[in-house]
Amino acid sequence: MTVAIILLVLLLAGVPIGVTLGVAGLVGMYALGGTNFTELAPSKMFNGLNIFPFLAMPLFILAGEIMNHTGITSRVVAFAQGLVGHFRGGLAHTNMVASVFFAGITGAATADAAAFGRTLVPAMVKEGYSRPYACAVTAAGSIIGPTIPPSGLMVLYGSLMGVSIGGLFATGVLPGVLICLVCMIIIAVSGRAKGLPKHERRQSLRELGRLFRRSFLALVMPVLILGTILLGIATPTEAAAIAVAYALVLGAFVYRSLQWRDLFAMLVRTAQISGVIYLIIGAAAILGWWLSFERVPQALAELVMGVSQNPDIVLLLIIGLLLVVGMVMDINAMLIILAPVLVPLTQQIGMDPLHAGIVFVLALNISLMSPPIGACLFVLSSVTGERVGRIAYELMPFLIGEVLLLLLIAYAPAFTLWVPRALGF
């Protein structure tokens, strides 16, 4: 009870999540007594971080930083607009398609929300969209990034639970594309009622070819990453290193928009982002050990199974817990804490490990855009100056659509797994 109170107080006080988890875990360890307290905590923290695939995360982050600094954003967005800009709500559709393309560059929802919040949201407002609606579209599309590979959350899940990261990457392709299609359908249905702008002229094939050629090398990156993993040429960590090398060559020698003096700032930014993630992972490992020692996972599993033995009900409870808790805590920390608790439940009800993994990842991604305190909402609010409440109001149709898609993914395993099965996973 003391640990729970400390967690709640520190969260409400706005203490960084890594510090919060670490303090709560240390208090729990101290309460157990013993003379090896000062040795046990560092040991558990080190063991929580000493997982080789974790090296992929900072490399993917660095690749994204390099690509973002080389003008790739404008090239990819221009191609996306050429494809769908002639529809009613063309820039909103462009936002979604560009999110699919950018999934292979950043792989982070908040990064996409920040990037498009600075570029596409002002462009949409200038063309006649309301700013809350433009922010809502951006928030809805931002979770495509960490769903389509490469995804840091998938790397984390696969490393922790011993699930094939390549298989998770393959499983994420279909849900990511479906998120884009669902959001585009919502934009199309609401477009006339909201009076969304429409460009009369469709791009000619020659113009589309020119836009494609300008963005082709950027669009190769996700194919390069996923292809090397699925073909067995490289591990996820090696593929991340290849992505960094590719981004460096592209920025410095092809587009000539990367100055070597800028690289230091990118490395610092990568270290800052990675440091925060690793602090959370290490601190969560301490708290996770205490939870396991106190048999909290087993108690929670018994509680859930006590509500119902029906697999469908158990799965619904798991999804509900992920959606709710993911709104109030960092999703990396929640994955580290909840996966060891909930994954055994998915095994008891007969879920495939890849199927369970994509349900976890997609549910936590959706929580990033869920009001009242989804992280992407606050990123967009800070970047654009729009109030969170107004963004959340415009976001509701997209949120409902994505939750319904999550339920389809969860309850139709054959449909969800046909891509990784076709690839041999």
Average pLDDT, the chain: 80
Supply the pLDDT for residue 108.
Answer: 66
Does residue 110 surpass a pLDDT of 80?
no
Tokens 């495509």 locate to 144
pLDDT band per the 50, 70, 90 thresholds, residue 249: confident
CA distances (Å), 224 to each of 60, 229, 234, 310, in order?
A: 13, 9, 10, 42
Tell me the backbone φ, ψ of residue 84, rounded to 5 degrees.
-125, 5
Q: How far, rounded to the nearest angstrom, does the alpha carbon of residue 172 sit from its chain's CA centroid? A: 11
Burial 240-277 (b: 16+ CB within 10 A, else e): bbbbbebbbebbbeebeebeeeebeebeebbeebbeeb
DSSP string for residues in 281-319: HHHHHHHHHHHHHTTHHHHHHHHHHHH---HHHHHHHHH
Does residue 394 surpass a pLDDT of 80?
yes
Q: Which has the higher per-residue pLDDT, 394 or 31? A: 394
pLDDT digit string, tens, across residues 308-348: 778 888 899 889 888 877 666 667 777 877 788 788 888 88
Mean pLDDT confidence for 74-80: 75
Does residue 182 surpass a pLDDT of 90?
yes
Find all residues with CB under 8 Å of 269, minimum gap 6, and list them: 65
Mean pLDDT confidence for 266-294: 78
Burial grade of 233 (CB within 10 A; 0-12, 13-18, 19 or more)? exposed
Closest CA relative to residue 140, chosen from 118, 123, 174, 116:
116
Burial grade of 143 (CB within 10 A; 0-12, 13-18, 19 or more)? buried
- If you compute the radius of gyration of the chain from its CA atoms, what whole number of angstroms results? 22
**Are 90 and 184 within 8 A, CB to CB?**
no
**Are 88 and 200 within 8 A, CB to CB?**
no
Helices (H) and strands (E) in the chain, counts: 21, 0
Mean pLDDT confidence for 109-113: 70
**Are 349 and 311 within 8 A, CB to CB?**
yes
pLDDT band per the 50, 70, 90 thresholds, residue 209: confident
Q: 3-class DSSP state for residue 332?
A: helix
Does residue 406 surpass a pLDDT of 90?
yes
**Are 151 and 171 within 8 A, CB to CB?**
no
Q: Which has the higher per-residue pLDDT, 138 or 83? A: 138
Supply the pLDDT for residue 335.
Answer: 80
pLDDT digit string, tens, across residues 212-225: 888 788 777 777 77
**Cα–Cα distance for residue pair 163/224, rounded to 1 Å:** 22
Question: Strand pairing partners for 37?
Answer: none
Mean pLDDT confidence for 373-393: 77
Mean pLDDT confidence for 55-81: 74
Closest CA relative to residue 169, chosen from 158, 181, 183:
158
- ω into 150 cis (within 30 of 0): yes
Q: Which has the higher per-residue pLDDT, 366 or 56? A: 366
Find all residues with CB under 8 Å of 213, minimum gap 6, and list them: none
The pTM of the whole model exceeds 0.95: no
Count other Cβ atoms within 10 Å, centred on residue 324: 12
Supply the pLDDT for residue 185.
Answer: 92
Q: Which has the higher per-residue pLDDT, 297 or 143? A: 143
Closest CA relative to residue 109, chosen from 148, 75, 73, 81:
148
pLDDT digit string, tens, across residues 130-146: 888 888 988 888 888 78
**CA-based torsion, 194, 197, 201, 205: positive or negative:** negative
pLDDT band per the 50, 70, 90 thresholds, residue 399: very high
Tell me the backbone φ, ψ of residue 88, rounded to 5 degrees.
-65, 135
pLDDT band per the 50, 70, 90 thresholds, residue 400: very high
